[in-house]
């Protein structure tokens, strides 16, 4: 019988010296608040020790309630869970960063965040509206602030000790290099869409060379078409190793040296997604080299407009 391995417990060191991030993370981009709270509790109970949210997802309150209940029950301690949230595009002006961060912490019922990310490199018109539009329905961008200005405001949060690490999301290689080269506190994490249909090898390799954790979101392809879970290479490996296609995809992400985020509101899938183990090296290579399909499922990197969030949220 095959010995169990420890793939699901993999941790990746952070270059800020503030510890390590569990490679297997649970995302909370779930439109329904009750489902978000239930899924977050189920994820913690299943064993996930990394949670990802954002002011834009409007799930911080439910994630906070779920964590609070689990911590109060004494099952898991706050310090055992790595919690990440993100600054939205309407808050890129440096003077808006700290209030936005404090509001996120308050909703999460936390004293500190393990990671704070700039959600996208696009600055929108500053104000309370997360989706500011002109009379023609076009997004109103803010030309008066650079990504570096916003980054410096995040550095101050680390200085103040309420945020252990900072990072970038929905950036490309050039934007990552630009901030990395100028930053006083280097990005600890780069969080972008990635899976076998969008492997982002150049960015993965740059992150590895510079001690940055590359974190893949939509690690299962977000249930979008073409469906990664039905890819013939993935299905064949799943049959061969007696795991599900989802478990194969999650193992591949960790075994190629990245962290990941997956999401489910279904209790059985949450357990399934934590119950992963290593696949053979030749299976990792086959996925990396044998799958030629290339698809981006989320267009947020092009405009800063979220791709997966249903209209009206």
Ligand X SMILES: NC(=O)c1ccc[n+]([C@@H]2O[C@H](COP(=O)([O-])OP(=O)(O)OC[C@H]3O[C@@H](n4cnc5c(N)ncnc54)[C@H](OP(=O)(O)O)[C@@H]3O)[C@@H](O)[C@H]2O)c1
Per the DSSP assignment, residues forming a β-bridge with 85 are 116
Site string for ligand X, 54-83 (x = CB under 6 A): ------------------------------
Take residue 254 and report the two structure tokens written for it: 């960790």
Q: Omega into 226 within 30° of 0, i.e. cis?
A: yes
E strand or H helix that includes residue 82? strand 82-87
> What is the Cα–Cα distance from 234 to 239, expressed in whole angstroms?
9
263 binds ligand X (CB under 6 A): yes
20-22 and 166-169: which strand pairing? Answer: unpaired
Nearest C-alpha neighbor of 33 from the set 65, 67, 71: 65
The site that binds ligand X (CB under 6 A) totals a number of residues, namely: 29
Nearer to ligand X, 267 or 290 (CB): 267
By CB under 6 A, which span of 1-9, 132-140, 180-188, 217-225 interacts with ligand X? 217-225
Between 26 and 71, CB nearer to ligand X: 26
Residue 170 in contact with ligand X, rule: CB under 6 A: yes
Query: How far, in whole angstroms, is CA 162 from its chain's centroid?
Result: 20
Q: What minimum distance in Å lies between the beta carbon of 135 and ligand X?
A: 27
What is the C-alpha to C-alpha distance for residues 180 and 47, in angstroms, rounded to an integer? 33
Binding residue (CB under 6 A) for ligand X from 13, 223, 239, 293:
223
With CB under 6 A as the contact rule, the residue among 131, 149, 172, 272 that binds ligand X is 272
Here the tokens at position 131 are: 């989706």
186 binds ligand X (CB under 6 A): no
| 197 labelled catalytic | no
Indicate whether 203 belongs to the interface with ligand X (CB under 6 A): no
Selected from 16, 91, 169, 194, the binder of ligand X by CB under 6 A is 169
The kind and range of the H/E element at 121 are none
Site string for ligand X, 78-117 (x = CB under 6 A): ----------------------------------------
State how far the alpha carbon of 94 is from the alpha carbons of 53, 97, 98, 284, in Å: 21, 5, 8, 42
Identify which range of 90-98, 144-152, 173-181, 266-274 contacts ligand X by CB under 6 A: 266-274
Q: How many CB atoms lie within 10 A of CB 53?
A: 28
Q: Could you give the residue numbers annotated as active site?
A: 57
- List residues near ligand X by CB under 6 A: 27-29, 52, 119, 169-170, 191, 217-223, 229, 246, 261-266, 269, 272-273, 298, 300, 308
């Amino acid at each position: 019988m095959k010995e169990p391995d420890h793939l699901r417990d993999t941790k990746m060191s952070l270059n800020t010296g503030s510890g390590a991030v569990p490679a297997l993370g649970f995302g909370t981009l779930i439109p329904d608040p009750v489902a978000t709270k239930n899924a977050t509790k189920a994820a913690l109970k299943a064993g996930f020790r990394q949670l990802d949210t954002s002011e834009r997802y409007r799930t911080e309150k439910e994630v906070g309630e779920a964590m609070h209940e689990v911590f109060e029950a004494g099952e898991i301690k706050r310090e055992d869970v790595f919690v990440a949230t993100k600054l939205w595009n309407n808050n890129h002006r440096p003077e808006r960063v700290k209030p936005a961060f404090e509001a996120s912490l308050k909703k999460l019922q936390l004293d500190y965040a393990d990671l704070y990310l700039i959600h996208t490199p696009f600055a929108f018109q500053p104000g309370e509206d997360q989706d500011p539009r002109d009379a023609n329905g076009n997004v109103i961008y803010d030309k008066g602030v650079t990504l570096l200005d916003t980054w410096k405001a995040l550095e101050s949060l680390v200085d103040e000790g309420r945020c252990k690490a900072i990072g970038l999301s929905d950036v490309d290689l050039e934007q990552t290099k630009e901030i990395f080269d100028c930053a006083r506190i280097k990005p600890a994490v780069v969080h972008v869409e990635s899976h076998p249909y969008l492997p982002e090898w150049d960015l993965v390799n740059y992150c590895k060379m510079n001690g940055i954790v590359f974190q893949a979101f939509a690690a299962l392809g977000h249930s979008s078409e073409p469906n990664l879970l039905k890819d013939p290479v993935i299905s064949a490996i799943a049959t061969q190793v007696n795991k599900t296609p989802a478990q194969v995809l999650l193992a591949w992400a960790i075994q190629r040296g990245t962290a990941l985020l997956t999401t489910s509101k279904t209790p059985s899938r949450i357990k399934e997604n934590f119950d992963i183990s290593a696949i053979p090296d030749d299976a990792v290579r086959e996925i990396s080299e044998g799958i030629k399909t290339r698809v981006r499922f989320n267009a947020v990197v092009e405009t800063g407009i979220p791709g997966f969030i249903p209209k009206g949220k």
